[in-house]
Amino acid sequence: MKRFALGDRVRISQDYHWAQGAQARIVEHSWPDLPPGECFRRVPSLQGLLRFYWVQFDEPQRDTEGDLYSGGEIDDRYLVADS
């Protein structure tokens, strides 16, 4: 499982279902079920617990329905460290 910290630069994998290739940074998000300062959460799935990080895109990205987003929650399997 990859571990990223607040402020880390990342790129979204070309294999993800949206925002392919987008550059972003890891940011804090205040999910109601997490303590302040967290930048990821664990989500149960058929593959076990998945880690999702909240990212802020360098440029807004459109999802598959055409809606524009400045950030989003991305599965860490699709995040690549970007220097």
Query: Quick check: is 74 in a domain?
Result: yes
Count the residues in the chain. Answer: 83
Average pLDDT, the chain: 92
CA distance 31 to 13: 24
For 51, residues 6+ apart whose C-beta sits below 8 A from its C-beta are 1, 2, 40, 41, 42, 43, 75, 76
| pLDDT for 1 | 61
What is the span of the domain harbouring residue 33? 9-81
Q: What is the pTM of this model?
A: 0.88
How confident is the model over 46-69, as a mean pLDDT? Answer: 95
Give per-residue pLDDT as tens, 23-57.
999 999 877 777 877 889 899 999 999 999 999 99
Domain count, the chain: 1
- Give the pLDDT of residue 53: 95
Q: Is position 68 within any domain?
A: yes
Residues paired with residue 80 on neighbouring β-strands, in sequence order: 11
Q: Do residues 72 and 55 lie in contact, with contact meaning Cβ atoms separated by under 8 Å?
A: yes
Does 45 map to a domain? yes
